[in-house]
Amino acid sequence: MNVRILLPLLLPCAASAQGFAGLGTASEGFATPERPAIFDFETDHGPHPDYRIEWWYLTANLQDGDGTHYGLQWTLFRTALAPDEGEGWSSPQIWMGHAAVTTPTHHYVTERLARGGIGQAGVTAQPFEAWIDDWQLAGSDFDTLNMTASGPDFAYDMDLTAQGPLIFHGDAGYSVKSADGQASYYYSQPFYEIDGTLTLPDGEVDVTGNAWLDREWSSQPLSENQTGWDWFSLSLDDGKLMGFRLRQENGSHYTSATWITPDGETTAYPDGAFQADPVSFSDVGGRQIPTQWNVTLDARGVDVDVYALNPKSWMATSVPYWEGPIIVEGSHAGVGYLEMTGYE
């Protein structure tokens, strides 16, 4: 019953006019992000229970000794049923963990759910620890982390070291999501070097690569007429690019992007500068999913084709979506991650 009971609970109207996963639902009683965004670290690495939703979202592009590409995801979502924190079972905070490992041929996924207030899941800012069950993302500070997760058919244990500063999207971390002004607080650490071991059904694989951690919280990040998004994080030869395209009911899009130089300087681009268009679709369990895209950011001379390492990177979780590693070719070369929601 988990899923059926949870969906309406977490996501009051997953399939209706209130945007993907209910993220367009009005959020009475909850705090809303305001400009200017002022952050307080380390505290802001921890949870913000007065906001309705929040996530610690890590993706990594990895390679083993043979040069085989892998993708890895570790995500902890927080959803509040009410804008406060309580002790014990009466806490209105709900936690959801998603973990995945993608290989060129397989996509391993698992999900965990937990109540707040009892110690089964949570986040502390100092020392930093985010956990649900036996999964954790933790370290003495935000720059040096250990990350573990396990599922019925896979597990991983990775170490992360930040090689650059935190970067802030939009207006210094105030990221606008629609023409109506919906917004979230949004910052990232895109400079992690990562190494460790994947445990897969065929055995253990030692891997290294780069990881990108997104931190985002809000109460109603989407407009009611937005049905889903396509989010790209690209690690290119001469910099990193984060761009997303929010799809609206009338067929139009709202886009936003951040260009990140190798030393961490950012440029935010408003609606329309970043373009992403599907090139070809894959049939994933009966759904038509765009797994090859043309992505452009003219201001930086970016005109690339991106395609999925494994087009079957479907997250069959209680809120299903597509999330997987991508390969970048064209004006720039590189790797990255693609997340697509609202295709159910």
Partner 1 sequence: MTKVGLQALLSHWLRNPMQLFTLIVGLSLATALWSGVQAVNAEARASYDAAAQTLGEGRFAQITSDDGAIPQADYIRLRRAGWLISPVVEGRLDGVRLIGLDPLTSPSGLATMGADDGNLTIDALAGGVLFATQDTFERLGAYDITRVVTPDAAPGVIITDVGTAQRLLGLENTLSRLLVSPTQPIVQTPLAEVAPHLTLRAPQDGSDVGRLTDSFHLNLTAFGLLAFAVGIFIVHGAIGLAFEQRRPVIRTLRALGFPLRRLIALIAVELLVLSLIAGAIGVGLGYLVAAALLPDVAATISGLYGESVSGTLQLRPEWWLSGLMIAVGGTCMAAAASLFQLARMPLLASARPRAWAMQAGKGRMYQAGLAVGLLVLAGLLGIFGSGLAAGFGMLAALLIGAALALPVVLDRVLAFGASRAKSVTAEWFWADTRQQLPGLSLALMALLLAMAANVGVSTMVSSFRLTFTGFLDQRLASEFYVYADDADQAAELQTYLTPRVGKVLPIQSANQDVRGLPSEIYGPTAHSTYRENWLFLQSADDAWARIEAGEGAAINEQLARRAEIAIGDDITLAGEAFPVLGIYGDYGNPIGQIIVTETTFKRLFPDIRPNRFGLRMDAADVPVLTEALRKDFSLADAQMVNQAGIKAFSLSVFDRTFTVTGALNVLTLAVAGFAILMSLLTLATMRLPQLAPVWAQGLTRARLGRIEIIRAVLLALLTAGLALPLGLALAWTLLAVVNVEAFGWRLPMFLFPLDYARLAVFAVGAAVLAALWPARKLARTRPSDLLKVFSNER
DSSP 168: E
Q: And the tokens for 87?
A: 């002790």
Q: In the complex, what is the shortest distance from the CB of residue 267 to partner 1, in angstroms, rounded to a whole number?
A: 41
Angle at 196 between CA 195 and CA 199, to 5 degrees: 145
C-alpha distances (whole Å) from 283 to each of 15, 184, 265, 320 are 21, 32, 39, 15
Sole window of 2-10, 36-44, 49-57, 219-227 interacting with partner 1 (rule: CB under 8 A): 2-10
The residue from 40, 65, 89, 286 that contacts partner 1 (CB under 8 A) is 89
Q: In the complex, what is the shortest distance from the CB of residue 3 to partner 1, in angstroms, rounded to a whole number?
A: 8
The residue from 50, 64, 85, 133 that contacts partner 1 (CB under 8 A) is 133
Residue 92 binding partner 1, by CB under 8 A: yes
Q: In the complex, what is the shortest distance from the CB of residue 94 to partner 1, in angstroms, rounded to a whole number?
A: 7
Sole window of 80-88, 173-181, 216-224, 241-249 interacting with partner 1 (rule: CB under 8 A): 80-88
Strands 53-63 and 167-168: unpaired
Residue 8 binding partner 1, by CB under 8 A: yes
CA 325, 328, 333, 336 dihedral sign is negative
Residues 6+ away with beta carbon under 8 Å from 6: 94, 113, 318
Residue 242 binding partner 1, by CB under 8 A: no
Nearest Cα residue to 177 out of 224, 212, 213, 215: 224
The residue from 15, 26, 38, 81 that contacts partner 1 (CB under 8 A) is 81
Write the binding mask 95 to 124 for partner 1: x where contact by CB under 8 A, - elsewhere: ---------------x--xxx--xxx----
**Residue pointed to by tokens 């890590």:** 58
6 C-beta neighbours (distance < 10 Å), count: 16
Residue 40 binding partner 1, by CB under 8 A: no
- Element counts in the chain: helices (H) and strands (E): 1, 23
Q: In the complex, what is the shortest distance from the CB of residue 92 to partner 1, in angstroms, rounded to a whole number?
A: 5
Binding site for partner 1 (CB under 8 A): 1-9, 12, 81-82, 86, 88-92, 94, 110, 113-115, 118-120, 131, 133-134, 150-155, 199
